[in-house]
A and B are shown apart, each in its own frame.
Chain A
Amino acid sequence: MKALRWLPWAALAVLPLLLHSNFILTIFIFSFILGMTAVSFNLVFGFTGQLSMFHAAAFGLGAYITYLAVSLWHVSFWIALLPSTAFTIAISLVVGAICFKFKLKAFYFAVVTLAFSELARLVVLNWNSVTNGTLGLMVLDKPVLWLPGAGSVKIDGTTAWYYFSLAGLLLTVAVCAIVLRSWIGRCFAAIRLNEDLAQTLGIDIFRYKLLSFMIANVLAALAGSFYAFYIGYIEPGYLSIAQSLDIIAMVLVGGRSSIIGPIVGAFVLTGLPHVIELSAEVRVILYGLILILTILLMPNGIVGTLMGRRRAA
């Protein structure tokens, strides 16, 4: 049973050997990177029960800072992740502390985090000298990885990015799994199920909500950096509300009660509209319909529904 869990990952690992279609592998890369974002978002949303709208901001700010560090200080991608992570931690602590100190819940927490996220987007949009405004920035660098036997390898091309983003996704899943299986995860669950009771039992809900918010944002910033360096382009739209909503949609379509649910959601919402050849407008309509139908017909998401079936059978 335990070995079965690794089967999908193994299948994903050998896929590029069997399949030489760049088109399909590209869809997989996008799904992996957006899956990283969705999985990390689900830590704060599905497992801690807080509807954060700050996720796109963390994703976008991470991307911008990593790129700016690379281009201004001429350091490698890996070193540049440090300031980006540090900044994400700092801003998560500030925003999270404000929201949680004032005990904002549900809708109100969503609105205030959304407001901070939009403020961050407006700063990025209008700070022309650094971010180049609406035009965005070209990211010409690629991460360099040292591999045993091959030396330094530049991550370039579809197959390389396939494995790179798969590794990123695996890392995100691993971090979430470790956190959720520890006492921290149980505190998150307690907060999600009954915040007042959790507090009565001596759980410092302020601290654990903040921790959940912070870990999720740091992982989102990592995903944002991956995304920027894969596409080779950053623009303020990374921080938009639409981006936040896309992430929520992936989590809900896939199912928020499991770690891997959001990955399935990322595949469905990124992949399906592209599998069939359609014009851009029809593709967005299809996206909207998938979203509406899954919410109405499968309220627990695809993974939640499948697992429920299996349990019932």
Chain B
Amino acid sequence: MVQLLIGQALNGVIVGTLYGIIALGVTLTFGITGIVNFALGEFMMIGAYLTWYLVDVAGLPFAVALLPAVVGAAGCGFVADQLLFRFTRNNLINGLLVSIGLISVVESGALLLWSATPKDMSYVLTGSVQLATISLPEMKLVVFALLAAVILLTYAALSRTWMGRAAYAFAQNAEAAMLMGVKTARLQSGVVVYSTALAGFGGALYASLYSLEPAMGGMYILKGVEAAILGGIGSPLGSLVGGIILGVTEAIGSIYLPSAFRDAYGLVFIVGILLYRPSGLFGSDR
């Protein structure tokens, strides 16, 4: 029983970091452009399918395929930003609707291209690590390490570099930041593109663990938004912790309650946190 609990908790942590990377994109986009990009899940799907295509069809090694997959997703993100999101800055509802429209277009496009049949990429790493009585697949550890590293690096970059501090300044007071020489239009586009690159990276790693289908993005964006709110909108570390809490609760909850209710935990968290601590676990009280 203990073994099952620990095993499930570790699985939860890994799924949770995937939620976390989407949550980071959600949180950054919301802080800088004032919209929630619900289409982030679609960029994750694009990243995942690109990786699958490069590895299984073109025959590249996984490590080499990662970069073009992320660049591809970010490229799509750049096009989407210039054509669509540029016009919905600070307009929550229009941004929502435009990203919904984009979901319809991208998801159906993926259905036409790759059909609804799930795609399974060939295994990258097949070994597993034995920790006492628990065996952990190596690939899951690698995925966890990479995702956590990217989230922590983003956090460090936001607090240490000039660009990062400019972003914080912009989120606090756009006008003052502009007067201090922050190139606001470029910053906003940059953040939108960066968040799609993060989603594409998450998708590329997702492809190495789970099977792909065109509708996969929809679930992950919901969990990502939940994790972002749980951790506190605007907090990069919060999105990682929020994602892990959500992932672990779901994994452990499915042991005791019917797994059909796995999607409900996040919702209960959200209601609780928004009613009693609206700034989230890590958000600053405003």
Measured CB to CB, the residues of A under 8 A from B are: 51, 98, 102, 104, 106-108, 111-112, 115-116, 118-119, 122, 125-126, 241, 245, 248-249, 252, 281-282, 284-285, 287-292, 295-296, 299
**Would you call B171 an interface residue if the criterion is a C-beta within 8 Å of the partner chain's C-beta atoms?**
no
Supplied contacts A115-B268, A122-B264, 17 more A-B pairs, CB within 8 Å: A98-B275, A107-B36, A107-B92, A111-B229, A112-B270, A112-B274, A115-B270, A118-B267, A119-B264, A248-B93, A249-B101, A252-B97, A281-B112, A288-B102, A292-B105, A295-B101, A296-B84
Q: Write the nearest CB–CB distance from B183 to chain A, whole angstroms.
A: 24
What residues on A are CB-neighbors of B102 within 8 Å?
Answer: 288, 292
Q: Which residue of B lies closest to A288 (CB)?
A: B104
Q: Write the nearest CB–CB distance from B147 to chain A, whole angstroms.
A: 24
What residues on B are CB-neighbors of A282 within 8 Å?
Answer: 108, 112
Q: Which of B94, B105, B261 has the largest count of A CB atoms less than 10 A from its CB?
A: B105
Q: Which residue of B lies closest to A126 (CB)?
A: B260
B275 touches A296 (CB 8 A): no
B229 touches A284 (CB 8 A): no
Cα distance A245–B98 when bound, in Å?
A: 11
A111 touches B101 (CB 8 A): no
Cα distance A248–B104 when bound, in Å?
A: 15
Q: Which residue of B lies closest to A279 (CB)?
A: B112
**Would you call B87 an interface residue if the criterion is a C-beta within 8 Å of the partner chain's C-beta atoms?**
yes
Q: Write the nearest CB–CB distance from A49 to chain B, whole angstroms.
A: 11
Q: Write the nearest CB–CB distance from A305 to chain B, whole angstroms.
A: 14
If A111-B225, A112-B274 touch, whether A125 touches B260 (CB-CB below 8 Å) is: yes
What residues on B are CB-neighbors of A51 within 8 Å?
Answer: 93
Q: Which residue of B lies closest to A290 (CB)?
A: B101
Cα distance A118–B274 when bound, in Å?
A: 16
What residues on A are CB-neighbors of B260 within 8 Å?
Answer: 122, 125-126
B98 touches A281 (CB 8 A): no
Cα distance A135–B94 when bound, in Å?
A: 34
Q: Write the nearest CB–CB distance from B270 to chain A, whole angstroms.
A: 5
Chain B, interface size category, equals: 35 or more
What residues on A are CB-neighbors of B84 within 8 Å?
Answer: 292, 296
Q: Which of B112, B225, B267 has the largest count of A CB atoms less than 10 A from its CB?
A: B267
**Would you call B278 an interface residue if the criterion is a C-beta within 8 Å of the partner chain's C-beta atoms?**
yes
Q: Which residue of A lies closest to B115 (CB)?
A: A281
Q: Which of B96, B109, B263 has the largest count of A CB atoms less than 10 A from its CB?
A: B96
What residues on A are CB-neighbors of B275 within 8 Å?
Answer: 98, 102, 104, 112
Q: Which single member of A119, A248, A288 contacts B105 (CB below 8 Å)?
A: A288
Q: Which residue of A lies closest to B260 (CB)?
A: A126
What residues on B are CB-neighbors of A106 within 8 Å?
Answer: 92
B97 touches A248 (CB 8 A): yes
Can you pick out 30 interface pairs between chain A and chain B where the beta carbons lie within 8 Å of each other?
A112-B274, A112-B275, A115-B270, A115-B271, A116-B267, A118-B263, A119-B264, A119-B267, A122-B263, A122-B264, A245-B97, A248-B93, A248-B96, A249-B100, A249-B101, A281-B112, A282-B108, A284-B105, A284-B108, A285-B105, A288-B100, A288-B103, A288-B105, A291-B98, A291-B101, A295-B98, A296-B88, A296-B94, A296-B98, A299-B94
